[in-house]
Amino acid sequence: MFTSIRWKFIIVYFLLIFIAMAIVGVFIVQRFEAQQLENRTNTMVKQIESIISTSSYLSEDNWANVSEEIQDTLDEWRFDGNETLYIIYNDGDMPKIIASSYSNHDKIKGQNALVYKFLDPTLILSAYDTGEKSEGIRKDANEGTVFKHIAYPALNEVGQVKGVLYMTSDLQDIYATLDESKKILTSATMLALAVTVLLGFLIASSITGPIRDVTKKAEKMAKGDFDQFVEVKSDDEIGQLASMFNYLTLKLKDTIQEIDLERSKLDTIFKYMADGVIAIDINGYIIHANPIAIDILGLEETINDDSINKKIFPMDSINLTKIDYEDLNSLEGDEIVEINSVVYRIRYAPFRNEKNNIGGVIIVFQDITEQHKLDNMRKEFVANVSHELKTPITTIKSYTETLMGFDNLDEELSCKFLSVIDNECDRMTRIVRDLLQLSNLDYNKTKWKKVDCSVENLIKDACLKLDFAFKEKNQDLILDIEENIPNIVVDKDGIEQVILNIISNAIKYTPNGGKISVLAKKQNDRVIITVKDNGIGIPEEDKNRIFERFYRVDKGRSRELGGTGLGLSIAKQIVEAHGGDIALKSQHKVGTEVDIMLPTTSHV
């Protein structure tokens, strides 16, 4: 019945009226709801402002001293049965309820307003922080209640918040009115729909007759008889349909040619797409594969030529042996596999043949090697952070438990334990500070204050700050700064941090009596600052990872020297944020050379 165009007309008219009435109804209800809520809010605000303006006690700065008088004022004030007012005062410890229009106000007086179940702590804190009123609607599905909340701050003469007047109002009456409005709109909609169905039936019946003839001719064409022509009796839409039907047979060949062209396009896309695609039938034979898939699986180039070259697809090599052609759910999914050191995400889904039966499976190979590598780096980073923080936390806990467990420890040993705890706290602070700086650099939250800086002054200032460290290890510092070297426009503190970090590493990993050289020169449009040492150097296998976060060549020695493993990562990101680069050359047990390359003033 519903396949008839007559019923389609009726359904369309029905849906149009239904959608129109629904949209109008929703709009009216929403506007009515918004208006009622706005009126209730204005009423609550006016009440609060009236209380503030008429109560002399609320003009006091210290409400705690006049809490009883404020309570008396609230008791005398006439409140609607739907509204409750709470006076909140922060005595320096926490915001407390010092008065309320609630009938049992003695039970809640003195309670912490931030944990009182009928108040919203976020509104209270917002009122205290901003000095402006905060409002919201709080719903409790379990109790079936809806309340409007307003936190209104009272300010002193200098604009500081003395306290907060927090009012709640039950909105059940508003929503009861809304429900009645919805019932009226629903009844009107039902009536309109009934009239629509009747009119739609009459209109549709007048135009379905001519369409039946077109339907019979189209059925014959569907069976292969393309010599069908429909008599055109009018110039309206039905007549135009008949004309187009006749035109169909003339354009059939053109359409088939266009289909062949589109198929050719799809074959070209399939052949040159970046992902590997392979199709296998229900017997496991490869029926088609694009060049990428052929290369991934090491298949023969003639695999697509004819049926003689069909091969069984090696499903066990990519963990797809679970595919069951009798179970449609198993024919769609994805797997992660590694083939020849390349990680692929394999997605597979069924395709159907001309009889609409499952003809086989299409498998797509997407190269996610880089994504997989980044995911592993993320996991390793989380593990390193956990390990770095676990060590000082364990030390702090052990020494703290010892101090707490023995009352008769001598003062010298206690001071020693406390010194260890203090050092471990400093260590955690350095880790967290470096992590925060890295986070800001990652998300471009660091605000650089770029100024015109002298390269020579930057280097000399950094070396001066490390003068004690040089002397402590009896190391020779050699400065070689090219004359007339141009200035650079950089964030002075940021680049100084980079230079300090690189030179500090050179000091740490260069033995006593060693030699450290700091050179600066202009090369093309860049200034290159080089730090060389004759220290322990870096093994060849560690060079590529030296700028990774938390990566250490000698983990035990690095921790002894107080490093967090983040310094070089931070330095690299700071330099790159300035449009520069940082490079490292090192030979194990010979020395290390680090180049900091920054653009000159004219190229920033």
Query: Left if phi > 0, otherwise alpha if psi is -120 to 50, otherwise beta: which for 360?
Result: left
pLDDT digits (tens, 9 = 90+) for 363-396: 888 888 777 777 766 766 666 666 667 777 887 8
Identical fold for domains 73-170 and 273-367, yes or no, is yes
**Domain parsing of the chain, residue ranges:** 73-170, 209-266, 273-367, 372-442, 450-603
- Where residue 12 falls among pLDDT bands split at 50, 70, 90? confident
- Where residue 175 falls among pLDDT bands split at 50, 70, 90? confident
Is the pLDDT at 296 greater than 50, yes or no? yes
Distances (CA, A) of 312 to 238, 286, 331, 395, 561: 55, 6, 17, 60, 60
Tell me the helix, strand and coil percentages in the chain, rounded to 5. Answer: 50, 20, 25
pLDDT digits (tens, 9 = 90+) for 51-62: 888 887 777 878
Average pLDDT of the segment spanning 115-141: 88
Q: At what angle do helices 411-442 and 369-405 cross, to 10 degrees?
A: 160
Amino acid occupying residue 467: D
- Where residue 118 falls among pLDDT bands split at 50, 70, 90? confident
Task: Write down the residue that tokens 């020395």 correspond to.
Answer: 591
H/E run at residue 362 = strand 358-367
Least confident of 178-182, 275-279, 399-403: 399-403
* Residue with the larger pLDDT of the pair 216 and 521: 521
Is the pLDDT at 519 greater than 90, yes or no? yes
CA dist 275 and 536 (Å) reads 46
User: Is the separation of the CB atoms in 194 and 201 below 8 Å?
Assistant: no
Helix (H, G, I), strand (E, B) or coil at 170: strand
Distances (CA, A) of 572 to 546, 595, 602: 11, 11, 22
pLDDT for the residue 595: 92
Is the pLDDT at 329 greater than 60, yes or no? no
Report the Cα–Cα distance between both ends of the chain, in Å, rounded. 75
CATH 1.10.8 fits 209-266, yes or no: yes
CA dist 175 and 168 (Å) reads 16
CA dist 149 and 48 (Å) reads 12
Distances (CA, A) of 194 to 147, 198, 278: 39, 7, 55
The CATH code of the domain at 450-603 is 3.30.565.10
CA dist 403 and 420 (Å) reads 12
pLDDT for the residue 515: 92
pLDDT for the residue 331: 63
Question: How many other CB atoms are there within 10 angstroms of residue 118's CB atom?
Answer: 16
Q: At what angle do helices 567-577 and 411-442 cross, to 10 degrees?
A: 30
Strands (E) across 422-567 are located at: 450-453, 476-481, 488-491, 515-523, 526-533
User: Is the separation of the CB atoms in 112 and 98 below 8 Å?
Assistant: no
- Where residue 226 falls among pLDDT bands split at 50, 70, 90? low
CA dist 281 and 16 (Å) reads 46
Amino acid occupying residue 369: T
Is the pLDDT at 550 greater than 90, yes or no? no
pLDDT digits (tens, 9 = 90+) for 77-104: 877 777 888 988 887 778 888 888 887 7
* Residue with the larger pLDDT of the pair 454 and 250: 454
Question: How many other CB atoms are there within 10 angstroms of residue 313's CB atom?
Answer: 24
User: Is the separation of the CB atoms in 95 and 82 below 8 Å?
Assistant: no
Averaged pLDDT of the chain: 80
pLDDT digits (tens, 9 = 90+) for 575-602: 888 889 998 888 888 889 999 999 986 4
pLDDT for the residue 556: 45
Is the pLDDT at 530 greater than 90, yes or no? yes
Q: Where are the alpha helices (DSSP H) in 406-454?
A: 411-442
Distances (CA, A) of 171 to 135, 183, 193, 361: 14, 19, 33, 58
Is the pLDDT at 455 greater than 50, yes or no? yes
pLDDT digits (tens, 9 = 90+) for 429-447: 877 777 777 677 777 777 8
- Where residue 604 falls among pLDDT bands split at 50, 70, 90? very low
Is the pLDDT at 558 greater than 70, yes or no? no
385: its two tokens: 């952070």
CA dist 161 and 474 (Å) reads 59
Q: Name the DSSP letter for residue 266.
A: H
pLDDT digits (tens, 9 = 90+) for 248-265: 777 776 777 788 788 888
Q: In the chain, pLDDT over 70 holds for what percent of residues? A: 86
CA dist 119 and 180 (Å) reads 30
Is the pLDDT at 562 greater than 60, yes or no? no
CA dist 97 and 109 (Å) reads 5
CA dist 331 and 322 (Å) reads 9
Least confident of 201-210, 317-326, 411-420: 317-326
* Residue with the larger pLDDT of the pair 300 and 571: 571
Is the pLDDT at 541 greater than 80, yes or no? no
The CATH code of the domain at 372-442 is 1.10.287.130
* Residue with the larger pLDDT of the pair 559 and 126: 126
CATH number of this structure's domain 73-170, picked from the four choices 3.40.50.1000, 1.20.1250.20, 3.40.50.1970, 3.30.450.20 = 3.30.450.20
Least confident of 161-175, 431-445, 514-528: 431-445
Is the pLDDT at 309 greater than 60, yes or no? no
Q: Which of 13-27, 302-316, 516-530 has the highest mean pLDDT?
A: 516-530
CATH 3.40.50.150 fits 273-367, yes or no: no
352: its two tokens: 């159907």
Amino acid occupying residue 288: H
Least confident of 150-164, 178-192, 204-218, 356-370: 204-218
Residue 315: is it exposed, middle or buried by C-beta count within 10 angstroms (0-12/13-18/19+)?
Answer: middle
**Greatest C-alpha distance within the chain:** 115
> What are the two backbone dihedrals, phi and then psi, of residue 193, each rounded to the nearest 5 degrees?
-70, -35
